[in-house]
Amino acid sequence: MSIKPAQTQKRILVTGSLGQIGTELVSRLRKAYGPENVIASDIKKPSKNHFSIDGPFEYGDVTNIDTLAQLIVKHNIDTVFHLATVLSALGEKMPDVALKVNATGIQNVLELSKSHKFQVIAPSTIAAFGPQTPKEQTPDITVQRPTTIYGVTKVYTELLGEYYQKRFGVDFRSLRLPGIISSEALPGGGTTDYAIEIFYEALTKGQYTYLSEVPENRLSQRTYNITAMSFTPKELADSIRKVKMPRFSISYNPDFRQKIADTWPKSIDDSIARRDWKWRPDYALDEMVKDMFEKLEPKVK
């Protein structure tokens, strides 16, 4: 099922829009809903290259509920893509900041959604799982005892969102994303960049089932596992050799991020997303590698 987003008129706010997902998602949303209907926000200034489609940009600090409320009211927002997050590796370097941005951020967004009635889409992550979680084919509902502050705040995001949905009727939705590889923005403090996920797929293929557009009665839950592919660094290197560079060589130099990654699942069961809203990844490893080369080659040459 592919839902055409342009069928619905929306007023969207994207927090953390200068990050890895935001940079590409904003352009995609502007294409679908009209540039003037997608308000990008962040605490930094955008560069000329940040979004491929121009539109409104506002200062937006998610830890400050008043700033957020002003944006919601001023722009008559009905949907918030809440992307502002400190990722796993950076979070371990500054847990206090991660706690503030990640926990206070979602708390503020949800609190405002109660009174201003807007839909909240907030990504979660495989980092919301931990060492006691089953490693293979990890289901949606399972043990969640993460060991990073990022993971802890993402469990909080999931549970708080689900609480607000049940208690106050807030239309909260979340996807547990694996690692992300993007061609537009450099990764921003994550542990793994070894996966292509739904936003990237959407942005590069221009076709994607918008979780935010799925009718509520199709959702049997609010937080969904999704996955496109799982691979090791060696398998990625093998694919690079196969697709593009036969002589490509790789050396391994694991740092503290390896220890974080070791606590996360190796493969994810996304059968409920496939069943409920027909989630289907279009890319496998070789296609992703090919696509990355096509996108990045003109930039690095």
Question: 57 vs 199, which CB is nearer to ligand AKB?
Answer: 199
CA distance 184 to 206: 15
Q: Is 150 among the residues known to form the active site?
A: yes
CB of 115 to ligand AKB, least distance (A): 30
CB of 127 to ligand AKB, least distance (A): 5
User: Where do we find the tokens 């006691």?
Assistant: 132
CB of 217 closer than 8 Å to CB of 12: no
Q: Give the footprint of ligand AKB on this chain (CB under 6 A).
A: 87-88, 125-127, 150, 177, 179-180, 190-192
Question: 76 vs 142, which CB is nearer to ligand AKB?
Answer: 142
Classify 12 as helix, strand or coil: strand
Residue 9: both structure tokens together:
């008129």
CB of 211 to ligand AKB, least distance (A): 17
Q: What are phi and psi of 46, to 5 degrees?
A: -75, 150
CB of 108 to ligand AKB, least distance (A): 21
Per the residue annotation, which of 150, 164, 200, 208 is the catalytic one?
150
Q: How far is CA 129 from CA 124, 140, 177, 273, in A?
A: 10, 10, 12, 18
Crossing angle for the helix pair 65-74 and 105-116, to the nearest 10 degrees? 40
CB of 169 to ligand AKB, least distance (A): 28
Q: Which residue is at the shortest CB distance from ligand AKB?
A: 190
Catalogue the long-range contacts made by 128-135 (C-beta closer than 8 Å, 24 or more residues apart). Answer: 128/154, 128/155, 128/158, 128/176, 129/263, 129/264, 129/265, 130/263, 131/262, 131/263, 133/265, 134/265, 135/265, 135/266, 135/267
Question: 37 vs 102, which CB is nearer to ligand AKB?
Answer: 102
Question: 71 vs 128, which CB is nearer to ligand AKB?
Answer: 128
CB atoms within 10 A of CB 276: 15
Question: 190 vs 281, which CB is nearer to ligand AKB?
Answer: 190
- Catalytic residue numbers? 150
